[in-house]
A and B are shown apart, each in its own frame.
Chain A
Amino acid sequence: MGEAVLTLNSQGLLRVVRGAVALAVVAVALTACKTIRPYEKEYLLGPLMDDAALPALDARFARDGLQRFERLAGTGGGGAGSACPTCGG
């Protein structure tokens, strides 16, 4: 019983920690987001920073092939896209 309660509390604590981390990320993002002016985005819009412009350099076949050995390959990695706001990316 004690172990069950401890497990439950640990899981609850883990959720709280995760929520706090998520909120911290959003808070930092909202705080920091006014620091970049449009004329300061030269490097950010470059091809080395833009995931949407990089498929030519991706080993896509190799990565897809991992799914035959790894059960959770291909999950996560959210956030891919373009760093160019006014390009619609």
Chain B
Amino acid sequence: MKHTSLSTVMTGALVTCVFGASSPVHADTFRQRAGAYADNQGTQRERLQLDGSVDAGGFAPAMTASSLAATWTREFTRLGEDAITQYDSDVYGTERRTDDGVNLTFGQVWNRLSDSRVGVGWRSDGVVTSRTAGIGGGSWFFGETFQASIDLTRSLTDRPRYPILDYDFAVVDPPTRVDSTGVSLALRQLVSPTLVVLAGGSNFTTSDRPPLRTLSLGARQYFPSLHGALHPTVVRAINRGRVTTDTNYGEVDAWQVDLAWLQQISRQTRGKVSWRWYREDETTRAYGDELTFGSDLVSVGLARALPKGFRGGAPGKGIDAPLTVEVNASRYRTNANILAQVIEAGVSTSF
């Protein structure tokens, strides 16, 4: 675990796209969310997040709609005594840190069936800073039953120099700047009136690591008699190749399985129970040791829509826009004896 802090910050900054393959919504939406995390190493984190999306209309020929979306995130972390590494002590000098992140996405819909998007993102904890830019597009084909999307992403991460001595006495000295360029392809097929099949793949090249390739396959199956839907997804990620002293961990590959059940509980209330299983195999650079990391995550979520005029008032006296109240609770467990609980709550509205 000695390299965890630096490597995970890097990975998170590099491979997380600033936007998904989703498209503009035809309404102004706002969401605010707060979350708290605590684990058995004594680490505590709190997060505040604001999302806003504004319908910008169709202001060009053939443009059906467009939207501008922004997300601001602030996260406070206080590391527990068991979680502080030498890297944390040397680089941050304290067990506390604050992460700030901003994402902006401008999306457009063309002739109702095609969409495009461009986005930028920035994130920093005061020591490590990453900037990401992306562009993408997609379209529906074959009677609006098959969708293909492609996204290109480029990221730059700046971090302090921090050489360490590895087990084979080689000096691992990661470069202070890392750049990453990636392409992602996503396919969606409406197979039957109750089944959607998803497939995706991506390839990221990074200046200090072997290429990262992923394949994913998923489905969304609706069960009309149960008023519920099953969402299974499998992801395979491979980050193997020549590893040098530019990076502080070895070759890795991973399997991830997600299984979720979504239930329409009442007209205004929806629920979700999900389970995620993750296994990561690493071959270290120094002596080729084989290491395995495993984890699972169980989450329960509930969202309830409150109609316009809620709180018993007549229209105009209650809330003037429909609200959705959302709560989530999760439990995370790893084979490295980490046990964490996360609680999230939020509210969103659309105009």
C-alpha gap A58/B23 in the complex (Å): 18
C-alpha gap A78/B143 in the complex (Å): 22
C-alpha gap A89/B24 in the complex (Å): 7
Annotate A42-56 by CB proximity to B: 1 below 8 A, 0 otherwise.
111011110110111
- Minimal beta-carbon separation of B21 from chain A (angstroms): 5
User: Which of B21, B45, B264 is in CB contact (< 8 Å) with A78?
Assistant: B21
C-alpha gap A41/B140 in the complex (Å): 15
- Judge whether B301 and A58 touch: CB under 8 Å: yes
C-alpha gap A60/B140 in the complex (Å): 28
- Judge whether B270 and A29 touch: CB under 8 Å: no
C-alpha gap A66/B24 in the complex (Å): 28
- Judge whether B196 and A89 touch: CB under 8 Å: no
Which residues of chain A are within 8 angstroms of B249 by Cβ–Cβ distance?
Answer: 71
**Taking the complex as formed, is A1 at the interface, i.e. its CB lies under 8 A from any CB of chain B?**
no
Interface size class, chain B: 35 or more
C-alpha gap A40/B5 in the complex (Å): 50
C-alpha gap A87/B4 in the complex (Å): 42
**Taking the complex as formed, is B208 at the interface, i.e. its CB lies under 8 A from any CB of chain A?**
no
Which residues of chain A are within 8 angstroms of B233 by Cβ–Cβ distance?
Answer: 77
C-alpha gap A59/B300 in the complex (Å): 8
User: Which of B31, B187, B278 is in CB contact (< 8 Å) with A29?
Assistant: B187
- Judge whether B193 and A76 touch: CB under 8 Å: no
Annotate B60-92 by CB proximity to A: 1 below 8 A, 0 otherwise.
000011000000000000000000000000000
- Judge whether B109 and A88 touch: CB under 8 Å: yes
Question: Contacts A59-B328, A81-B149: A72 and B216 contacting too (C-beta < 8 A)?
Answer: no
Question: Contacts A69-B336, A69-B338: A78 and B222 contacting too (C-beta < 8 A)?
Answer: no
**Taking the complex as formed, is A3 at the interface, i.e. its CB lies under 8 A from any CB of chain B?**
no
Nearest residue in B to A47 (C-beta to C-beta)?
B270
**Taking the complex as formed, is B16 at the interface, i.e. its CB lies under 8 A from any CB of chain A?**
yes
- Minimal beta-carbon separation of A57 from chain B (angstroms): 4
Which residues of chain B are within 8 angstroms of A78 by Cβ–Cβ distance?
Answer: 21, 149, 184-187, 198-202, 214, 216
**Taking the complex as formed, is A5 at the interface, i.e. its CB lies under 8 A from any CB of chain B?**
no
Which residues of chain B are within 8 angstroms of A63 by Cβ–Cβ distance?
Answer: 276, 297
User: Which of A30, A49, A56, A79 is in CB contact (< 8 Å) with B222?
Assistant: A49
**Taking the complex as formed, is A73 at the interface, i.e. its CB lies under 8 A from any CB of chain B?**
yes
- Minimal beta-carbon separation of B89 from chain A (angstroms): 17
Chain A binding surface, main DSSP class:
loop
C-alpha gap A79/B147 in the complex (Å): 9
Which residues of chain A are within 8 angstroms of B94 by Cβ–Cβ distance?
Answer: none
**Taking the complex as formed, is A62 at the interface, i.e. its CB lies under 8 A from any CB of chain B?**
yes
User: Which of B146, B149, B224, B274 is in CB contact (< 8 Å) with A33?
Assistant: B146
Nearest residue in A to B47 (C-beta to C-beta)?
A61
Determine which residue in A25, A58, A71 has the highest number of CB atoms from chain B within 10 A of its CB, and name it: A71
- Judge whether A85 and B197 touch: CB under 8 Å: no
**Taking the complex as formed, is A4 at the interface, i.e. its CB lies under 8 A from any CB of chain B?**
no
Which residues of chain B are within 8 angstroms of A52 by Cβ–Cβ distance?
Answer: 22-23, 25
Which residues of chain B are within 8 angstroms of A30 by Cβ–Cβ distance?
Answer: 142, 146
Question: Contacts A66-B297, A73-B278, A80-B186: A36 and B145 contacting too (C-beta < 8 A)?
Answer: yes
A-B contact pairs, 28 of them (CB 8 A): A29-B187, A29-B197, A32-B189, A33-B141, A33-B142, A33-B146, A34-B145, A35-B145, A36-B143, A44-B194, A48-B228, A58-B301, A59-B274, A59-B301, A59-B344, A65-B45, A68-B5, A76-B200, A76-B236, A81-B22, A83-B196, A85-B113, A85-B140, A86-B113, A86-B144, A87-B26, A88-B24, A88-B112
Q: Which 10 pairs between the two chains have the least Cβ-Cβ distance?
A: A78-B200, A79-B198, A88-B109, A61-B35, A85-B144, A76-B235, A76-B214, A67-B12, A78-B186, A62-B330
Other A-B contacts than A62-B330, A76-B214, A76-B256, 5 sampled, CB-CB below 8 A, are A44-B222, A62-B35, A76-B235, A78-B21, A81-B22
